[in-house]
Amino acid sequence: MTILLTGATGFLGMEFVARAVQADTADVVCVIRADDDAHAARRLHDTLTTLYGDDVPAAADDRLIAVAGNLEQPGLGLGPAAASLVADRVTRIVHGAASIRFDLPLDEARAVNVDGTAHVLGVARALHAAGRLRRYVHVSTAYVAGRHAGDVHESGSPVTGAPRNTYEQTKREAEVLVREAAAAGLPAVIARPSIVVGDSQTGWTPAFNVLYWPLRALSRGMLGATVPADPDGLVDVVPVDFVADAIAYLTVTDEPVSGTYHLTAGPAATQIGELMDMGCAAFGCDRPAVAPPIAAGDVDGSGHEAGVFIPYFDVLSHFDATRARALLEPAGITCPPLADYFDRIVGYAVAARWGKTGCTRAAAGVQPDAVSAI
């Protein structure tokens, strides 16, 4: 089995890579933005160092192939040798690369998230026409629902909530391309994670954004006496090990998977008020008052400097995950409630000084279960 992976140097991508190395049953062609294949190999090596330090398993050299590419170019900008490798060997694709910045101008976000998806789909269509492609997994986000209030189902129905930012808008536009390709016969599935945080067993993460910002601000008294949030708003949080396990399973399973799968907490999503209670208990501080959220554009320097995150403090979307649970739970892949591992992610964040220090994934003791195997 040979898998083409975009986004290998990102948080989710490196977790997928770690599972491939552990399982030692699939080769992974990692398309990495780089000047040439040697540069791509160096970037992959840096990723492996983040995972393993100086003790990189031998299987990484045997199973991982780094090639230079560019999502913004047709054919992913692959050189002749890499393009031939993909055409001859790849049977499955995981498209995980994206710009996750919330504040990019729309044209820049589209260049990566929409045009990039179109170019990956072009490679997928060529493999499918040659009779090789078994699965295309598109990593999206549950927040393509935008500001929709109420249930969001795992159906092909268009979502109508106004997007909060260019990230949500362009990820939604990319999904349209994937659904069109699936309707034309491409074996494609869409995975929609919600807010991804550290490993549920150790708290390990190399990325400290979204949920980590308000927690850090709370721990340092930076939020002030009043927090701009809806106390009934939902914070749908999932640990990275659950998401990576699920994406790996969607990639390799021989079950007839199709359509969209919500990799979310679903009915176990945490309310803002509950999150604040957990945070205050962890940091030994008083709970701030809650006031109606302010628009990101109204944020000043008074402690709410990460204005791009504030629109996520009043989410009223309920992400139904019935299809995903029916598929994943029999395989032993389940999403724990945030309360079960909250102290671990906070403990690691504090020990890592919210990203200023930290340790490798291996040193943190992360050990995927057998269900994670690719």
Residues 153-178 pLDDT 10s: 998 676 778 999 999 999 999 999 99
DSSP state of 224: -
325: left (phi over 0), alpha (psi -120 to 50) or beta: alpha
Q: Enumerate residues 6+ apart whose C-beta is below 8 A from 112.
A: 71, 72, 97, 98, 99, 170
Q: Supply 3's token pair.
A: 């898998």
211-253 confidence digits (pLDDT tens): 998 899 899 888 777 888 887 889 999 999 999 999 999 999 9
**Beta bridge mates, 262:** 192
CB 315 within 8 A of CB 234: yes
pTM: 0.94
Contact, 204 vs 213, CB < 8 A?
A: no
Of residues 135, 149, 143, the one with CA closest to residue 91: 135
Alpha-carbon distance of 99 to 157, in angstroms, equals 25
What pLDDT does residue 312 have?
A: 85
- For the cut 50, the answer to whether the pLDDT of residue 12 exceeds it is yes
CATH architecture of 91-359: 3-Layer(aba) Sandwich (3.40)
Calculate the CA 351 to chain-centre distance.
23
pLDDT digits (tens, 9 = 90+) for 23-57: 878 999 999 999 999 999 999 999 999 999 999 99
Is the pLDDT confidence value at 100 over 70? yes
Higher pLDDT, 299 or 185: 185
Q: Which two tokens stand for residue 86?
A: 């993909």
* Whole-number pLDDT of residue 222: 83
CA distance 176 to 187: 15
What's the pLDDT at 270?
A: 94
